[in-house]
Amino acid sequence: MRKFFAALAILAISTFATQAQAQFRASDVCKMKRSQYERDQCLEYGLRGSMLRVKGNTQRLLDSNRVPELEKENILKSHKKWGGQFERNCSDNECHYDMASARNSEIEKIMAKYNVAPM
């Protein structure tokens, strides 16, 4: 019976941790800066780095011979769709940074699937 309760507690903690992590956005780190200038700089640098990773990781997938052609086509389609949302839905660096970070997470999952090393 103890093992059952221990397993139940671990499951509850894992569920809570997963949900808490899902609520975290990349720009939240920048919100902890002391001044508005530091927050703005953090967002700008974070966005630049995320965009470079999006570009580099996407190119690595497209260049890899491990990724099937159909998957490459799907990557390009989803990237085009994401690019439209990126421009249409965001008007500030915070939104752009969060969207770029989310796109990197998507790309890195595909990279892991095909054993392609991310940037």
Residue 119 lies in a domain: no
pLDDT of residue 63: 95
In a domain, 118, yes or no: no
User: What are the structure tokens assigned to 72, written together?
Assistant: 């490459």
* 34: in domain: yes
Q: How is 62-109 classified by DSSP, letter by letter?
A: HH-TTS-HHHHHHHHHHHHHHHHHHHHH--SHHHHHHHHHHHHHHHHH
53 found inside a domain: yes
Number of domains in the chain: 1
Domain that holds residue 33: 2-113
Q: Assess if residue 99 is contained within a domain.
A: yes
> What percentage of the chain exceeds 90 in pLDDT?
56
pLDDT for residue 107: 95
Note the pTM of the prediction, 2 decimals: 0.73
Mean pLDDT confidence for 13-37: 67
Per residue in 82-119, pLDDT tens? 999 988 988 888 899 899 999 999 999 999 999 999 98
